[in-house]
Amino acid sequence: MIRSASLCKASPGFGLGLRTPHYPDFQCQRQPLDWLEIITDNFLVEGGRPLLMLEAMRRDYPLAMHGVAMSIGSADGLDLAYLQKVKGLAHRIEPLWVSDHLCWSGLGKTMLHDLNPLPYTEEAARRVIAHIKQAQDILQRRLVIENVSSYVDFAHSGATEWEFLHHVATQADCLLLVDVNNIYVSSVNHGFDPQHYLDALPRDRVQQIHLAGHSRHPTHIIDTHDHPVCEEVWALYAAACRRLGPVATMIERDDHIPPLPELLAEMDIARAIAKENIALAAVEKAASPEGKWQPTQLPNRSLASAPAETGLSAVVSTVVSAGASPPGLLQLQTDWLAYVLTDPPDANAPARLGLNGVSGLGLGLDSDSSQGAADSPAERLCIYHRAYRLRLCEVLSESFEKTSSYMGSVLFDQEASQFVVQQPPAGRNLGRYGSNLPAFLAQRYPDNPELAELAQLDWDLRTRFDWANHPALSAADLAPQANGHLAFIDMPQPLHPSVVLRDSRTNAIKLWRAIDDDVDVPEVAYLPKEDEANGPPGLIVWRWNLQPHFMRLDPAQYRFMQSLAEGWSINQSSERWADTDVLPTPEVLGAWLKDWLAQGILRLG
Ligand SMILES: [Fe+2]
């Protein structure tokens, strides 16, 4: 067990969630930020530009690692391989701290890639505490756990969220990332007083604060992180500063990301609020007869106060003795998973999951929602059902950008939705979701093979981007032996590890380039089968100098290169294809090799 005299690191000040649109701002000049938070999962990759960028950032700023896929509340245990990857990244960048969420995201091999809520029960608490301890032992550091927003409430929860959080943090000996926006969102959705939540936080364990925006709907709020911080959240942050003192604070924006100066201006507001309220708290503390901090009373709230230090057992036993038969954690998560994956949504799921009726306060909510009211447990649960599909379709549309553009976003989204239902994610890396979409499109559109080829090209380019680094062989590396022999022609499997070869029977490359150049897309063209006497033409995709590349190969070059991919050396392949149309004249073979050396297609070592 990890112990130290001081639970939290001293606040490094004010930071920002690092997002790709802002990379150029950070490359241009030092920004007025004390630290940055990265999304851990975006950097659990083998190599390429993302890790280089990360190392450059690390030279200029302290970094905190914030993960979204640890699934600390999963009923079936932690993914140890994932944790080892997180540990490896932490070893690489020596972060300020490592955080993830108090939630569950998947079960077994299926990942929903959402921050799903937990019931606040003894069983869930035991499971989460055990997982946090296990993760801390592996990571060799205290984990920082963040509260999530939620839209549903389990009837068999025996404690409030803040009681549960306090209990877990103290029993697991972990630290907390307090998302003030999430507290506000849940307070509106469930009808509790956010001040009670703040009052219950164990002050010595709050390592970080998130500030963010959300989307307002007539009867609920969704934690979309796509708006500026609202007045209510600023007010809650002010109260948090008075309660907690200096805590590392950052703005978390995940969508509709504005220019960096806008977020820096929001950070300035946070700085000013923190300065004013920490000073105010010091004055109040000096003036208080007991010299202690006094909870701030928010106006117009008359909800019953919940004690911060309440254990879970008493309340849970009350619920159980009332005759309810709540689902165990594994059953609940199994049912939830089935609900989210099934179309249309099962109307009986809220009862099966033991959801409470909705008791949101509806505090001044707007009435401009395009999604309609969510005023029943079924409607609230459906938020998760919709979000799952939207998120995965969005990921597919990003990974298959040219395919989506070629098909049109409406048709692509229809197909993506079908794909999501048929093939749920099986891995923690959301960026690797969609590897089977080309095969799916090939099956759905047998008369339009260009769709699958285009999708495969999108996918191969996407996956080459963060492929493992490996040096390429160049002409400068060639040192003839005494007899003039070049050793590289005897090297087995001489292709660069990032090389992938594909059959190409359509003009998908031309389609892709036209879309990329934003010019008129040519008519699709197919290679007649009868023209395949020497095999189909092919295409090669690889990464060279951090940039994914591709080019078309004629049938002979394609078959020769396939031999190399199978493990043959250049010499062996030459012997294999001697006296056939595949092996070209020595001059042409020499030109191929020169070309491959010049474009980083062969590996060094
Ligand atoms: Fe957050």
Cα–Cα dist 312/316, whole Å = 6
CA 133–ligand 1 middle distance (angstroms) = 22
CA 135–ligand 1 middle distance (angstroms) = 20
**pLDDT, average across residues 552-567:** 92
State percent of the chain over pLDDT 90.
Answer: 72
Taken in order 48, 425, 407, 441, the sign of the CA dihedral is positive
CA 350–ligand 1 middle distance (angstroms) = 26
pLDDT score, position 358:
65
**pLDDT, average across residues 380-386:** 93
pLDDT score, position 326:
80
**pLDDT, average across residues 535-543:** 91
Q: 476 pLDDT band (50/70/90 cuts)?
A: confident
Cα–Cα dist 601/584, whole Å = 19
CA 108–ligand 1 middle distance (angstroms) = 25
**Domain spans in the chain, listed from the N-terminal domain onward:** 14-319, 400-598
Three-state DSSP class for 111?
Answer: strand
Whether 361 shows a pLDDT value over 90: the answer reads no
CA 500–ligand 1 middle distance (angstroms) = 38
Cα–Cα dist 525/510, whole Å = 10
Element (H, E) at 524: none
CA 59–ligand 1 middle distance (angstroms) = 25
Whether 374 shows a pLDDT value over 60: the answer reads no
CA 100–ligand 1 middle distance (angstroms) = 9
Q: pLDDT by residue (tens digit) across 256-279?
A: 889 999 999 999 999 999 999 999
CA 179–ligand 1 middle distance (angstroms) = 5
CA 419–ligand 1 middle distance (angstroms) = 29
**pLDDT, average across residues 350-378:** 63
Task: Quickly tell me which residue has 């106060």 as its tokens.
Answer: 305
Q: 319 pLDDT band (50/70/90 cuts)?
A: very low
CA 90–ligand 1 middle distance (angstroms) = 20
User: String of b and e for 406-415 (b: at least 16 CB within 10 Å)?
Assistant: bbeeeebbeb
CA 413–ligand 1 middle distance (angstroms) = 28
pLDDT score, position 296:
44
CA 255–ligand 1 middle distance (angstroms) = 13
Least confident of 11-20, 245-254, 372-381, 594-603: 372-381
Tell me how far apart the terminal alpha carbons of the chain are, to the nearest angstrom.
Answer: 44
Cα–Cα dist 136/132, whole Å = 6
CA 182–ligand 1 middle distance (angstroms) = 7
pLDDT score, position 478:
79
What DSSP string runs through 335-371?
A: HHHHHHHSSSPPTTHHHHHTBPPP----TT--S--SS
CA 116–ligand 1 middle distance (angstroms) = 14
CA 104–ligand 1 middle distance (angstroms) = 15
Cα–Cα dist 289/286, whole Å = 8
Whether 309 shows a pLDDT value over 60: the answer reads no
Calculate the average pLDDT of the chain: 88
**CB proximity list for 591: less than 8 A, separation 6 or greater:** none
CA 509–ligand 1 middle distance (angstroms) = 41
CA 284–ligand 1 middle distance (angstroms) = 29
**What's the DSSP call for residue 595?**
H
CA 50–ligand 1 middle distance (angstroms) = 22
CA 228–ligand 1 middle distance (angstroms) = 14
CA 189–ligand 1 middle distance (angstroms) = 17
Q: pLDDT by residue (tens digit) across 432-453?
A: 999 999 999 999 999 999 999 9
**pLDDT, average across residues 323-348:** 89
Q: 482 pLDDT band (50/70/90 cuts)?
A: low
Burial class of residue 584 (count of CB atoms within 10 Å of its CB; 0-12, 13-18, 19+):
middle
pLDDT score, position 579:
78
Least confident of 239-243, 572-576, 580-584: 580-584
CA 178–ligand 1 middle distance (angstroms) = 8
CA 176–ligand 1 middle distance (angstroms) = 11
**CB proximity list for 542: less than 8 A, separation 6 or greater:** 464, 495, 496, 498, 499, 500, 548, 549, 550, 600, 601
CA 17–ligand 1 middle distance (angstroms) = 10
Which of residues 392 and 218 earns the better pLDDT score?
A: 392
Whether 383 shows a pLDDT value over 80: the answer reads yes
* Confidence (pTM): 0.87
CA 472–ligand 1 middle distance (angstroms) = 41
**Dihedrals phi, psi of 37, to nearest 5 degrees:** -110, 130
CA 32–ligand 1 middle distance (angstroms) = 21
pLDDT score, position 187:
94
CA 338–ligand 1 middle distance (angstroms) = 27
**pLDDT, average across residues 18-34:** 94
Most confident range (mean pLDDT) of 78-87, 217-226, 358-367 is 78-87
Q: Which amino acid is at 445?
A: Y
Whether 233 shows a pLDDT value over 60: the answer reads yes
CA 30–ligand 1 middle distance (angstroms) = 25
CA 146–ligand 1 middle distance (angstroms) = 7
pLDDT score, position 250:
96
**pLDDT, average across residues 224-249:** 92
CA 336–ligand 1 middle distance (angstroms) = 23
CA 210–ligand 1 middle distance (angstroms) = 5
CA 18–ligand 1 middle distance (angstroms) = 13
CA 466–ligand 1 middle distance (angstroms) = 26
Structure-token pair, residue 154: 């389990």
Q: pLDDT by residue (tens digit) across 494-508?
A: 999 999 999 999 999
State percent of the chain over pLDDT 70.
Answer: 88
CA 15–ligand 1 middle distance (angstroms) = 13
Which class is domain 14-319? alpha beta
Of 139, 164, 89, the C-alpha closest to 466 is 89
pLDDT score, position 5:
45
CA 177–ligand 1 middle distance (angstroms) = 8
**CB proximity list for 71: less than 8 A, separation 6 or greater:** 78, 79, 103, 104, 105, 106, 111
CA 403–ligand 1 middle distance (angstroms) = 33
Q: pLDDT by residue (tens digit) across 340-359?
A: 999 899 999 998 998 987 65
C-alpha distances out from residue 460 to 214, 403, 438, 445, Å: 35, 13, 11, 20
